[in-house]
Chain A
Amino acid sequence: MRTYDLIVLGGGPAGAHAAIMGAELGLDVLLMDENDAAGGQVWRAPGGAFREAPCGVDAKKGSALRSRLAASAVSCRLSRRVWLVERGFTVCAIGPEGAEQARSQALIVATGAVERHVPVPGWVLPGVMGLAAATVLLKSARVLPGKRVVVGGAGPLLPAVANAILSGGGRVAAVVDANPIGAWLANGANLLMRPDLFLRGAGWIGRVRGAGVPWHFGHTIRRIDGKGSVGEVHVGRVSVEWEPAPGPELTVVCDAVCMGFGLIPSTDVVRLLGAAHSWNPALGGWVPVTDADQTTSVERLYACGDGAGVLGAASAPLGGMIAALAAARDLGRITVAEFERRTGVLRKQFARASRFGRAMARLTAPRLGAASAIAKEAEVCRCEGLTRAALDQAIADGAVTVNDLKAATRCGMGPCGGRICEDAAQLLIAAATGRDRAEIQPATPRPPLRPVAIAALGGPFDYGSLPMAEPAPL
């Protein structure tokens, strides 16, 4: 097994910049990513034969980054599914050639974020997908989610997805935005910290509204109906805290729904390694505790990008570079003075870019009121088919932590490992027990971090491979 100075997990804007910076500082760097190209979600590579045919700002940035990475001394292992990380650090992954491991002195975790969902009845129907999933379809495959799409939830992905559907020649039946229009406007000063991004976002919204698409501010999708797949959605008013509010219910006919309520930092790896975490709704929920140089509470373990707190793709590269400089400092490759000198400018840029990211994250900060929007019959744990009523019953019976709820109901124990439902489970426990969300810890992290086949771990194996012990002497 090869030992590197530094392993970077995640090849998005944060991780790729961390890896390149690490290599420039003379470190022996390995970058691993689940996808077959670096770029992460925002700077995602167009898939298959579309690859490197840039269209749009993000695709061009992604292309430039992939070229820089290819020209750098970074060793890249793509299409790798990391399923276990141990202190020390040892990374275990499944790649195209099967199981593999690598060791490193320092580890930078840049694993990005997953989408937050507020379950509604019917959200398990085929044709319903996350906003993030829609961006993958639209960017990588250039396929529309449906012929008549409802885009719902909260935050910047609403205009991004609606605009991408329209640009691709599709139809958006409605945008259902949990936030009132005032929530978008309240952040004006911070949004102007990045006038380019502000104008792009404003352009998306203008284009969607200009196309005559109804934009229902202060509304959420209450129910999705259809036979076999999506047929219509029922939309109702919500308060600023996303609680259902009185008012007429609208019905919108559609064949696809793209929904999501912002992003949750993916903290599986850092939690598995025992790093301290804290509840920070402004950054998307549970985040690793880091200091100004992206260092976690575990020695030589760093977190950056959305996985360290959702601040978006504008600040992620800066966080990644700071993390790499911190790793080089801690490995004795650069002096503390050199570290301070080089991070000075980066920190200022990071703070500036973060103000834009924070303003966006504020639009999707988890709201306690969302708990009252989850209907009794809504399947919260999609894998196990567990409704809110079933979870509420278990909570009333004493399951007051996520671990309790897992043990009592199997919530979060299906194939997704709780990655889709755990946030909602935490929310329901907080709401039912009247506690702050900061008191509801995530479930104890357990490998495998991704589903892996036992056959893939074992490799080719037959009877002759069994180790046979010497017979005991009679």
Chain B
Amino acid sequence: MVGLRMKEEKARPVRFWFDNEEVEAFEGETVAAALVAAGMRGFGRNRATGARRGIFCAMGLCQECIVLMDGHVVEACRLPVCAGLEVRSV
């Protein structure tokens, strides 16, 4: 954790996997929020230019925070974290 979380934590702490790295998170928050809180920025990718991208609109419009789950592209800003979830960068 890199100190980006606000003090009042009430949710259930869980761990999930991003590119084989264990990430601490809270159940039910989005993968994008958990990755930002863990200090990761460029976890998405622009598929036209190949450039790393981060969370930009946070509401499922911009398609920049995409990650892979079971081989499918999903928006990290709309994917809730559950214990043991495995996601990869595109």
Q: Which residues of A contact B (CB under 8 A)?
A: 34, 36, 41, 47-51, 53, 55, 81, 114-115, 124-130, 132-134, 136-137, 140-147, 168-170, 228-230, 382-385, 414-416, 419-420, 450-451, 453, 455
Q: Are B57 and A115 in contact (CB under 8 A)?
A: yes
When the two chains form the complex, which single residue of A125, A133, A382 contacts B58, counting CB atoms closer than 8 Å?
A133
When the two chains form the complex, which single residue of B3, B52, B55, B64 contacts A382, counting CB atoms closer than 8 Å?
B64
Chain B residues near A140: list those with CB within 8 A.
29-30, 33
Chain A residues near B30: list those with CB within 8 A.
47, 140-141
Question: In the complex, what residue of chain A is closest to B73 when comparing beta carbons?
Answer: A453
Q: Are B11 and A129 in contact (CB under 8 A)?
A: no
Q: Are A383 and B56 in contact (CB under 8 A)?
A: no
Q: Are A385 and B10 in contact (CB under 8 A)?
A: no
Q: Are B46 and A382 in contact (CB under 8 A)?
A: yes
Provide the bound-state CA to CA distance between A141 and B34, in Å.
8
Among A114, A137, A144, max chain B CB count under 10 A is at A137
Question: In the complex, what residue of chain B is closest to A228 when comparing beta carbons?
Answer: B42
Chain A residues near B63: list those with CB within 8 A.
383, 414-416, 451
Question: In the complex, what residue of chain A is closest to B49 when comparing beta carbons?
Answer: A385
6 further A-B contacts with Cβ under 8 Å, apart from A147-B4, A420-B61, are A49-B12, A50-B11, A133-B55, A136-B77, A141-B37, A385-B51
Q: Are A129 and B54 in contact (CB under 8 A)?
A: yes
Provide the bound-state CA to CA distance between A169 and B29, in Å.
20
Question: In the complex, what residue of chain B is closest to A384 when comparing beta carbons?
Answer: B48
When the two chains form the complex, which single residue of B6, B48, B51 contacts A143, counting CB atoms closer than 8 Å?
B6
In chain B between 1 and 60, which residues have their CB closer than 8 angstroms to a CB of chain A? 2-12, 26-30, 33-34, 36-37, 41-44, 46-49, 51-60
Provide the bound-state CA to CA distance between A453 and B4, in Å.
33
Question: In the complex, what residue of chain A is closest to B54 when comparing beta carbons?
Answer: A126
Chain A residues near B46: list those with CB within 8 A.
124, 382-383, 385
Q: Are B49 and A127 in contact (CB under 8 A)?
A: no
Provide the bound-state CA to CA distance between A132 and B8, in Å.
22
Q: Are B11 and A382 in contact (CB under 8 A)?
A: no
With A49-B26, A142-B5 as known contacts, state yes or no: A414 contacts B48, CB within 8 Å: yes
Q: Are B59 and A228 in contact (CB under 8 A)?
A: no
- The DSSP consensus for interface residues of chain B is loop
With A143-B4, A416-B63 as known contacts, state yes or no: A133 contacts B57, CB within 8 Å: yes
Provide the bound-state CA to CA distance between A49 and B83, in Å.
13
Q: Are A53 and B52 in contact (CB under 8 A)?
A: no
Those 9 A-B pairs whose CB atoms lie nearest each other, nearest first: A48-B28, A126-B54, A49-B11, A141-B33, A133-B58, A415-B63, A126-B42, A126-B41, A136-B58
Chain A residues near B72: list those with CB within 8 A.
453, 455
Q: Are A137 and B11 in contact (CB under 8 A)?
A: no
Q: Are B52 and A126 in contact (CB under 8 A)?
A: yes
Q: Are B61 and A419 in contact (CB under 8 A)?
A: yes
In chain B between 66 and 90, which residues have their CB closer than 8 angstroms to a CB of chain A? 66, 72-73, 77, 80-81
Provide the bound-state CA to CA distance between A229 and B36, in Å.
12
With A34-B60, A136-B58 as known contacts, state yes or no: A124 contacts B4, CB within 8 Å: no
Question: In the complex, what residue of chain B is closest to A164 when comparing beta carbons?
Answer: B6
Q: Are A169 and B7 in contact (CB under 8 A)?
A: yes
Chain B residues near A419: list those with CB within 8 A.
61-62
Provide the bound-state CA to CA distance between A36 and B41, in Å.
25
Provide the bound-state CA to CA distance between A432 and B46, in Å.
28
Provide the bound-state CA to CA distance between A48 and B26, in Å.
8
Provide the bound-state CA to CA distance between A144 and B6, in Å.
7
Q: Are B4 and A450 in contact (CB under 8 A)?
A: no
Q: Are B60 and A130 in contact (CB under 8 A)?
A: no
Chain A residues near B61: list those with CB within 8 A.
114, 416, 419-420
Q: Are B6 and A169 in contact (CB under 8 A)?
A: yes
Q: How many whole Å from A358's CB to the nearest CB in chain B? A: 25
Provide the bound-state CA to CA distance between A419 and B42, in Å.
21
Provide the bound-state CA to CA distance between A383 and B50, in Å.
10
Chain A residues near B80: list those with CB within 8 A.
36, 47-48
Question: In the complex, what residue of chain B is closest to A134 when comparing beta carbons?
Answer: B58
Q: How many whole Å from A232's CB to the nearest CB in chain B? A: 15
Chain B residues near A169: list those with CB within 8 A.
6-7
